Amino acid sequence: MQSNQNGLFSIQQVADMTGLSKQVIRKWEERYGIIQPKRLDNGYRVYSHEDVKTLLKVKLLSEQGHSLKQAALLVKEVEEEPKMPLFKDEQKSPNYEQWNEYVLRLLEKGNHCDEIELNFILNQAYHHLGIDHFLTDIAIPFLKEVGRKWENHEWSEYQESVSSLVVRDFLVQIRRNYQYRDSAPFVLGACLPYEHHEVPLHLVLMKFMMKGWKTQLVGASPAPGSIESLVCKLKPSVVLLSATTTIPFETDPTLLQRLDEFAQKQENIAFYLGGQGTIHYHFDYKPRAIRITNSVEDILKP
């Protein structure tokens, strides 16, 4: 089920999107005046996109330590003065203002692990918005919120896994069906051994694809030595290595040095290593041929 023709959601849909119970939603409305949903002729409440976003903002502020009364006042002040900061860490906070119905519906279906509906909504968004806006306005915000819900124990590992894998498979489908020029440069992406989080690398490869590159991804947690073998066989122009966690470096402390020594021997192949695990890990070894960066734009500079 999606919003009705007037863009309104039922209270159950809002509960699925926000992670708030129906009782809490009603309490926030009646006691704190946080939202004022419309009523149908039968008395049922219906909620707008803005109502949902307001609830999400108040919820996040309460998680940051604000009382519900303070959170409601803060949201109201920001609505009156949009330039005012809302969250303590604006850089890491979800940008609810830019969320659209697609993201909200994905959260609703992800809460129920409804793979068919998740795929249907992703297809709708992709064909409606095009690949660029699909990535920036739908896929990335949704995946970030999925990760946040899992970290905050709002979603189970199963809910997080189903939602992430559906998006991953959809991105793979787009890349497989994309038409390349015969002369297109080739980038090979690979998670490091022992790294299982491959979705961030899919998103990076999509950005290369949009710039006209041919892309290929080595599966999550490849066997030691398989990256080197594929590089020798495929001869890509660029190799992107990814570690979302620090597990690869903790499991194999010499991994970076070995890969760097291999990279030094490869002529005309540029090697990059990124991901949050890479940025957060303290390396004793300083690579010579592998550049550590989390900026796709720097790599794609002409």
User: Per residue in 44-73, pLDDT tens?
Assistant: 889 999 999 999 999 988 988 888 888 888
Angle at 126 (CA atoms; ends 147, 109), nearest 5 degrees: 45
Does the structure show a pLDDT above 50 at 184? yes
CATH code of the domain covering residue 86: 1.10.1660.10
Mean pLDDT of 278-283: 91
Domain that holds residue 172: 99-177
Taking alpha carbons only, the member of 232, 244, 239, 231 closest to residue 213 is 239
73/122 same-domain check: no
48/64 same-domain check: yes
The structural domain count of the chain equals 3
Domain end: 39, 56, 90, which one? 90
84/103 same-domain check: no
pLDDT at 41: 86
Domain end: 66, 90, 114, which one? 90
Q: Tokens representing 166?
A: 């559906």
Mean pLDDT of 196-202: 92
Total-model pTM: 0.83
Distance CA 271, CA 240 (A): 6
| Residues 6 or more apart whose Cβ sits within 8 Å of residue 171 | 139, 199, 202, 203, 206
Domain end: 55, 90, 125, which one? 90
Does the structure show a pLDDT above 80 at 91? no
- Binning pLDDT at 50, 70 and 90, where does residue 80 land? low
247/292 same-domain check: yes
